[in-house]
Amino acid sequence: MTTTAVPAPISRLTEDEQLFADSVYEFADREIRPLVLDMDEHAKISKELIAKLFDLGIMAIEVPEAYNGAGASFFHSVLAVESLSRVDPSIGVFVDVQNTLFINALLRWGSEDIKKRYCPKLSVDTVGAYALSEAGSGSDAFALATRAVEKGDHFVLTGRKLWITNGNEADLFIVFANVNPDQGYRGITAFLVERGFPGFAVGKKEDKLGIRASSTCELLLEECRVPRANVLGEIGKGYKVAMETLNEGRIGIGAQMIGLSQGALDHTLAYVKERKQFGRPIGDFQAVQHQIARAATELEAARLMVYNSARLRDAGKPFLTEAAMCKVFSSEVAERVTSLAINLFGGNGYVKEYPVEKLWRDAKIGQIYEGTSNLQLQTIAKQLLG
């Protein structure tokens, strides 16, 4: 299995940002890489590794230091996801959901009481998950059927969620339910649900093509009682929580895709220098060089798009179009780069003993979750056409 011990240079970063990205990659190379094949085969993240991720401080990057978090920026979350995904995109998305979806939503929409109760836990040992999708509510996110009935000081939630990332590891969930179906999406409300709440259960875990170590589960809510104090944001404003958070989450998926692509390129560059045919390394052949050059060029363009979107977000400037663009493009680049890697590895690229087969499987999800490519293109066109 080909590995790359030395981080590839990442330009356009400050010295501190570069040191942060390098330190996360060095951790991934040392602590995650030896576990990748086993975690993929058994479709499970090591509990010991999760504890190490918390110890490293990357499970609560934007949480203020007052709550034991790192107190860093959204851009640092993007760098962490990218660096982890160079080694294992499953761990990249595990950290991504925790930061760009769950914690991001909680910090923006949570009351002071919610932040005081949950942020310290999220900084130390509690994993979060974001539960929006349902059987009939995927791309059409506002068609969700989960219901919430108000009963005094609490709500009763009933429904079934599907495709929930981190579902197996999480102890805290942002669950979207409709308190007033007659008002359509204006009845959607976000709730913080603890795993131990009566009526809540984690159901089937999906057996997936790629990012297999990352759990994807169904959630079952059967008259689940949720305290009124656990409403995230305002009642009936859950659609706003969902859409604005997903816009930021798409940048995180872009980071996963460029990290994954860099990992595939790392392995490919090492392999074409070692693999010999016709008496010389295959990297000496111009046809191979040109393919690698094009892949590196596309990856550089994708990275710039992801970084630009994250910078815009941190600067408080509009980034909806840029986020959609970076997700579409980076996911397409990831599919092309990993496919090229398999081609250049030849027969070795098609077997699990070598790492690029897994990265190719991992890449496909980038065009599907957190808004399909078609939906991203629709968003871009709508913005361009006014």
From CA 331, how far away is CA 267, in angstroms rounded?
A: 19
Q: Mean of the pLDDT values across residues 304-326?
A: 97
Domain map (residue ranges) of the chain: 15-127, 129-236, 240-385
Residue 140 has a pLDDT of: 84
Indicate the range of 90-104, 138-152, 209-223 predicted with least confidence. 138-152
One fold for 129-236 and 240-385:
no
**Taking residues 40-47, what's their average pLDDT?**
97
pLDDT exceeds cutoff 90 at 151: yes
* Encoded amino acid at 116, one letter: K
CATH architecture of 129-236: Beta Barrel (2.40)
Q: Is residue 9's pLDDT more than 50? A: no
pLDDT of residue 224: 98
**pLDDT of residue 4 exceeding 90:** no
CATH homologous superfamily for 240-385? Butyryl-CoA Dehydrogenase, subunit A, domain 3 (1.20.140.10)
pLDDT at 5: 54
Q: Which CATH superfamily is domain 15-127 in?
A: Acyl-CoA dehydrogenase/oxidase, N-terminal domain (1.10.540.10)
Tens of pLDDT, residues 165-175 = 999 999 999 99
Residue 11 has pLDDT above 70, yes or no: no
Least confident of 7-16, 17-26, 47-56, 302-311: 7-16
pLDDT (0 to 100) of residue 23: 97
| pLDDT score of 142 | 76
3-state secondary structure the chain: CCCCCCCCCCCCCCHHHHHHHHHHHHHHHHHHHHHHHHHHHHCCCCHHHHHHHHHHCCCCCCCCHHHCCCCCCHHHHHHHHHHHHCCCHHHHHHHHHHHHHHHHHHHHHCCHHHHHHHHHHHHHCCCEEEECCECCECCCHHHCCCEEEEECCEEEEEEEEEEEECCCCCCEEEEEEECCHHHHHHHEEEEEEECCCCCEEEEEECCCCCCCCCCEEEEEEEEEEEEHHHEECCCCCHHHHHHHHHHHHHHHHHHHHHHHHHHHHHHHHHHHHHCEECCEEHHHCHHHHHHHHHHHHHHHHHHHHHHHHHHHHHCCCCCHHHHHHHHHHHHHHHHHHHHHHHHHHHHHHHCCCCCHHHHHHHHHHHHCCCCCHHHHHHHHHHHHHC
Tell me what pLDDT residue 139 has. 79
Q: Is 60 exceeded by the pLDDT of residue 2? A: no
Reported as a single tens digit per residue, the pLDDT across 255-299 is: 999 999 999 999 999 999 999 999 999 999 999 999 999 999 999
pLDDT computed for residue 223 by the predictor: 98
Residue-wise pLDDT for 208-220, tens only, equals: 999 999 999 999 9
Predicted pLDDT of residue 143: 86
- Residue 106's pLDDT is 98
Question: Average pLDDT for residues 10-38, to the nearest whole number?
Answer: 93
User: What amino acid positions are annotated as catalytic residues?
Assistant: 370
> Does position 324 have pLDDT exceeding 80, yes or no?
yes
The string of pLDDT tens digits covering residues 224-261 is 999 999 999 999 999 999 999 999 999 999 999 999 99
pLDDT, tens digit, 9 for 90 and up, residues 52-99: 999 999 999 999 999 999 999 999 999 999 999 999 999 999 999 999
Q: Does residue 1 surpass a pLDDT of 50?
A: no
Q: Does 6 have pLDDT greater than 70?
A: no
